[in-house]
Amino acid sequence: MREQIEEIPVGQFRHLVSERALNGETMLLNMGPQHPSTHGVLRLLLELDGETVINCIPDIGYLHTGVEKNMEAKTYQKAEVMTDRLDYMNPIGNNLAYVMAVEKLVDLDVPPRAQALRVILTELQRISSHLVLIGTWGLDLGAMSMFLYCFRERELLLNIFELVSGQRMMTTYFRPGGVWRDAPVEFEAAVRDFIKIFPRRIDEYERLLTKNPLFVDRMVDIGYLSKEAALSYGVTGPNLRASGVNWDLRKARPYMGYEQYDFDVPVATEGDTYARYIVRIEEFRQSLRIIEQALDKLPMGPVHSDNRKFVPPPRAEIGVSMEALIHHFKLWTEGFRAPDASVYSAVESPRGELGVLMAGDGSGKPRRVHMRTPSFDNISAISEMVKGHLVADLVAILASIDIVLGDIDR
C-alpha cells in the first residue's frame, strides 16, 4: 500500500490567489517541502510575476507529530519528554514552559537554586538556538563560514548541557518542582569559560556579517513588517522587537526570578530583515549578561521541592525509608493527581511567546495540553513580508523569521 501525494485542484485555493493566477498571467510555483532554504519541511505556494513574489501561502503540517494528543495519555512527568521535541532548537525552553504550567496547576514551589539553574540553562539554550539560526542564515545567503563558526560554538554549549543532564539536545533536565539533579561541580567553570570566550566570538560574527556589503544588500529594506501588522498577526519575540515593539515576557511578566537580573531588551525600529538580525546579535550579549549575573549569585541549597507528593525522593532515601519507597513507586507508576482546573503559563522562547495551556481533570494525566507556539504565528506573517520581493529575497526573509517546523506543526 502506498499513499499518493494529494494533488490539490486549483479550485481549492482559488480564494487565496489573485485572478491573474487563474487565467495564467502569473505563475504558481511550489517551494518545498524538500527545499534547502525552508528550514525544515515547509511548503510554500508562491504566486510569481516573473521573479517577483505576489503572494506566498505557507502549507504546514508536514511535521505534524500529534504531541498534544500523545501527552494526554501520559502522566505529567512522562509527558514532559514530548515537549523537548516540539521546538527542537529550544528543548530546554520548552521544558521550562511545560514544568511552569505543571507547577502552576498543582501549586508547587521551586527552590531558588533550581530557579537560577533554570535561568542559566534557558539562556544558554537561547544562545544555542540563535547560533543555529545565524549559522543557517549565513548558509542561505552564501556565507558558508558562518555556519562552521556558529556550530563550533554550539558544541561548547551542548557540552555544558551534556554535563548537567547527560544528553546533548533532549535534556528533560527541568522537572516539575525543580531540576533532575544538582549541576555537577564542573558546571560553573564550564559556563564561566563560555562567558569568557563567547563575547569575542560575537565580535567575530559581526566582523564577518554586520557590515559585509554582500550580506547587507540582501537584508536591508527586505521583508518589511510594520509594527501594526506584526501585532495583528500575533508575531512575538525578536521578530516583534525588530518591528519596534518593546515586548519581552522576561521583562513584561517576569518568571523564574528574571526580575532580579539586569538586562536590556534589544529593540530595532526598521522592521526589516537586517533589523531582525541585529536584534538577535544583541540578544546574544544580553543573554550572556543574564547568565553571568545568575551565576554570580547562584544560591546553594536544594534543587527540587521537598513536597514528596510531586517530587520523587532521592535514591538514597528509598533504601531506608518505607515512606520514600511508597512515594517513589506511586510517582513513577501513576504519577501525581492534578486538580480539575486549567492554567496558562508562558515563557519567552528564542522565537517568541511559548505558552502552555494545561487542563487537569483530577486524575494523573492531563485532560488537554495545548501549546501556543511562536513560530506558528510568526510564519503567518510571511505573506505580509514577501509581497513585492524577489524569490531570492524570500530565502533571506524566511531565515529571518526563524521558524522551526516542529514548533509550527507540533
Partner 1 sequence: MGVEQKLGNMGVVTVTLENAVNWSRTNAMWPMLFGLACCAIEMMAAQASDFDMSRFGMELMRASPRQSDLMIVAGRVSKKMGPVLRRLYDQMPEPKWVIAMGDCASCGGVFNNYAIHQGVDEVVPVDVYVAGCPPRPEALIHGILTLYEKVNAMKFVEKNK
Q: Which residues bind partner 1 (CB under 8 A)?
A: 2-6, 33-36, 40-41, 61-67, 69-70, 81-82, 85, 88-89, 132, 135-136, 147-149, 151-152, 154-155, 158, 168-170, 405-406, 409
Name the residue nearer to partner 1 (CB basis): 136 or 236: 136
**Which backbone phi and psi does 46 adopt, to 5 degrees?**
-105, 140
Name the residue nearer to partner 1 (CB basis): 1 or 322: 1
Report residue 364 CA to chain centroid gap.
27
Name the residue nearer to partner 1 (CB basis): 41 or 48: 41
Name the residue nearer to partner 1 (CB basis): 35 or 330: 35
Name the residue nearer to partner 1 (CB basis): 153 or 282: 153
Please, what is the minimum distance in Å from the beta carbon of residue 171 to partner 1?
Answer: 11
Name the residue nearer to partner 1 (CB basis): 91 or 111: 91
Please, what is the minimum distance in Å from the beta carbon of residue 272 to partner 1?
Answer: 27
Please, what is the minimum distance in Å from the beta carbon of residue 19 to partner 1?
Answer: 30
Please, what is the minimum distance in Å from the beta carbon of residue 179 to partner 1?
Answer: 20
Name the residue nearer to partner 1 (CB basis): 63 or 202: 63
Name the residue nearer to partner 1 (CB basis): 87 or 248: 87
Name the residue nearer to partner 1 (CB basis): 88 or 263: 88
CB 52 within 8 Å of CB 379 = no
Please, what is the minimum distance in Å from the beta carbon of residue 61 to partner 1?
Answer: 5
Name the residue nearer to partner 1 (CB basis): 169 or 229: 169
Please, what is the minimum distance in Å from the beta carbon of residue 33 to partner 1?
Answer: 6
Alpha-carbon distance of 349 to 327, in angstroms, equals: 33
The candidate with the shortest Cα–Cα distance to 114, out of 227, 11, 212, 256, is: 256
Please, what is the minimum distance in Å from the beta carbon of residue 223 to partner 1?
Answer: 22
Provide long-range contacts, Cβ within 8 A and 24+ apart, for 242-251: 242/267, 242/268, 242/270, 242/271, 242/272, 242/275, 242/276, 242/278, 242/279, 243/268, 243/269, 243/271, 243/275, 244/268, 244/269, 244/271, 248/348, 249/346, 249/347, 249/348, 249/353, 250/348
Name the residue nearer to partner 1 (CB basis): 89 or 116: 89
- 185 Cβ contact list (under 8 Å, min separation 6): none
Please, what is the minimum distance in Å from the beta carbon of residue 77 to partner 1?
Answer: 14
CB 209 within 8 Å of CB 273 = no
Please, what is the minimum distance in Å from the beta carbon of residue 124 to partner 1?
Answer: 16
Please, what is the minimum distance in Å from the beta carbon of residue 391 to partner 1?
Answer: 15
Amino acid at 187: F
Please, what is the minimum distance in Å from the beta carbon of residue 90 to partner 1?
Answer: 11
